Amino acid sequence: MSKRPVSPHAVPADPSAPRVIASFLSWPHAGGVLVDVTVVPNARRTEAVGLHDGALRVRLAAPPVDGAANEALQQWLARSLGLPQRAVTLVQGQTSRRKRLHAQANAQAVLGWLADLRTAGVPDLSLPD
């Protein structure tokens, strides 16, 4: 009798253990979700454009000067998830293009955002159905 392969999106045995629902997300984490992002500052507009090295690639219409790009990224993610800006914090990557953010979002907000990314045609975005 062979065992069925376990989906990487299956609920873990420990419900408090983080699980990956997309390569750039860890869920749940401290009442929210961790989002790994690679930023491209000084773009014409702020938008998600695909994946890069396991992170969501986001073009930012802000320069990487005096924290302007970090601020723009936090505003974009909060707006995308329908959260107040204070609900999104930069955890890692203050001066790097690779960043990790924590968003205090519920599952409904995160899944809605992922559906919006898919609908917007973000390339290379493979998500569970």
How confident is the prediction along the chain (129 residues), in pLDDT tens digits per residue?
Answer: 444 444 444 444 455 554 556 788 887 767 899 999 999 999 999 999 999 898 999 999 999 999 999 999 999 999 999 999 999 999 999 999 999 999 999 888 988 998 899 888 887 766 555
Q: Tell me how far apart the alpha carbons of residues 2 and 124 are, in angstroms, rounded to a whole number.
A: 32
In angstroms, the CA 30 to CA 19 distance is: 13
Buried b (16+ CB within 10 A) or exposed e, 1-32: eeeeeeeeeeeeeeeeeebebbbbbbbbbeeb
What token pair was written down for 119?
């609908």
- What pTM did the predictor assign? 0.80
For the chain, domains (ranges, CATH) are: 20-119 (3.30.1200.10)
The residue type found at 41 is: P
The stretches of the chain forming alpha helices (DSSP H) are: 68-81, 107-119
Chain position carrying tokens 């990224």: 73
